[in-house]
Structure 1
Amino acid sequence: MTSVLPPFVQAASGSLGAATANTLTYPLDLITTRIQAADKSTSIRRQIYTHGLSSFYDGIGTDTGATLLSSFLYYYVYSFLRELVVRGNGKSKAAMLPISHELAIGYLSGIASRSISTPLNLVTVRLQTARGSDDSSADGGASQFMGVCRQIFREEGLLGFWKGFSSNFILSLNPAVTLYLFQLYRRVMLRGRERAAPPPAHSFVGGALANSAGESQVLSMLSFDND
């Protein structure tokens, strides 16, 4: 995201876009989570029959909040740090920095955003899987949100809200690599004014390719680390 807009405007537009995309794909994400967490007796058809279609939006409020916060913080920190580096090097805002600078800025931004969103993401997973048993009565409301928070605190204390945060030190490379690949796409595929302000079609295609390549690279790193 290399724009001439102020960091706050970039952060606001980026977080709203991420929240919109998250809302559209949320049922698929929830189904995946339930399939991974549930036992063999649980099925999508059973969930619909027992709890209705609305159950596929359990925890969407918390998840949307986490997406807004993490995306806003990520884009704000990224835009702010990048502007400082670009200004210090005497370059234009749309200039492409060396790969070491781009990845470092993106990585620091990712760590900052995930430190805020991890507790909300943890609560979201609990809300998504709350209907896994027949005696659960997930309604996705504020009372259930507070109930999940109290349960996590009771079981694991305050640090329990950041359970698994250590994996974020690798996962935070994903947005950094993605943004760098998107800028590389702009540099190779676009010319003139389009490079500074990519058309919607190029933004979509370039973003999709960069995101896919970035996730593949980070997943391969995680697999190597686990081995």
Structure 2
Amino acid sequence: MRAARMINLIYLPLTIGLFLLAQQLYKKFPTPLLNPVLVSLTALVLLLLFAQIDYSHYNQYASVLTFLLKPAVVALGVPLYQQLHSIKKELPQILSLVFVSVVIAVVSTTALALLVGASAQIAASLSPKSVTTPIAVLIADQIGGQPSIAAIAVMVTGLVGSVVGVPWLRAMRVHHPKAQGIAMGTACHALGTARIVEEGAQQGAYSAFALVLSAILSSLLCPILVPLVSAWLA
């Protein structure tokens, strides 16, 4: 019994330790494929599978990290505040860009899911994939989706974006810091913002602002667009 309790207490420091090791690996070999979040998550999943540890049991003792996501997202407001004067001047343009991006993201995701044979519920669950997890879960629940599926979709979107987002922007010759920030914040939420802030404070500020706008607009547009697309493709 005592040994079991000791093992339970290892989950949290183990998770943090894996991430710190992944960070060191990324610093030594800075390639997108060695993204610290991706590497630590993969290692943790393999470890849980190998040790036959149920995720719900693991999460019971490591859920404090999930709670810390909220203040971590709030911390992104620091670079945003530093660029606030510049953002105010360009607010109409930024709002227009994010609005169009959200419409395209929601419509294309919903339509593609339905076209490949997914149910309306699955399509609704995937539609808020580019929004940070707490909001995406609420949106999915509101429009008849599955919050758990929405959470997974958000995680996958963020991971993929944080790994390939910056190389893709460079390949597409998108070099302007503001454009890079808006693209990453709108497309891949907090994980994308955490990645693009490594490129510079300006990218991080615009990404954080785009993340917030994307969340607000998605919560307003998903209940309108998802039923329209579902009815159109029904």
TM-score of the superposed pair, with normalisation by structure 2:
0.27
**Bigger fraction of residues in helix:** 2
Higher relative contact order (CA 8 A, sep 6+): 1
